[in-house]
Amino acid sequence: MSYRLRAATVADAPTIARHRVAMFRDMGLTDPALDTVETVTRVRLEGELASGTYVGWIAESDGQPVAGAGVMFHPYHPTVTNLRGQPTAYILNVYTEPAHRRRGLARLLVAEILAWCVAHDIPRASLHASEAGRSVYEQLGFVSTNELRVDLAKE
Residue 150 lies in a domain: no
Nearest residue to 1 via CA among 103, 95, 69? 103
Residue 81 lies in a domain: yes
Q: What is residue 155's predicted lDDT score, i.e. its pLDDT?
A: 62
Taking the model in full, what pTM does it have? 0.93
126 and 152 in contact (C-beta within 8 Å)?
no
Query: What residues contact residue 47 under an 8 Å CB cut-off, 6+ apart?
Result: none
Residue 147 lies in a domain: no
pLDDT (tens digit, 9 = 90+) per residue, 88-111? 999 999 999 999 999 999 999 999
Cα–Cα distances (Å) from 65 to 13, 21, 88, 155, in that order, read 12, 15, 27, 32
Residue 155 lies in a domain: no
Q: For residues 133-142, give the mean pLDDT.
A: 94
Helix axis angle, 34-51 relative to 13-26, nearest 10°? Answer: 140
Residue 144 lies in a domain: no
- Structural domain including 46 reads 4-139
Residue 65 lies in a domain: yes
Residue 16 lies in a domain: yes
CATH number at residue 133: 3.40.630.30
Q: How far apart are CA 73 and CA 52, in angstroms?
A: 10
Q: What is residue 104's predicted lDDT score, i.e. its pLDDT?
A: 96
**Residue 154: pLDDT over 80:** no
Residue 151 lies in a domain: no
Question: What is the total count of domains within the chain?
Answer: 1
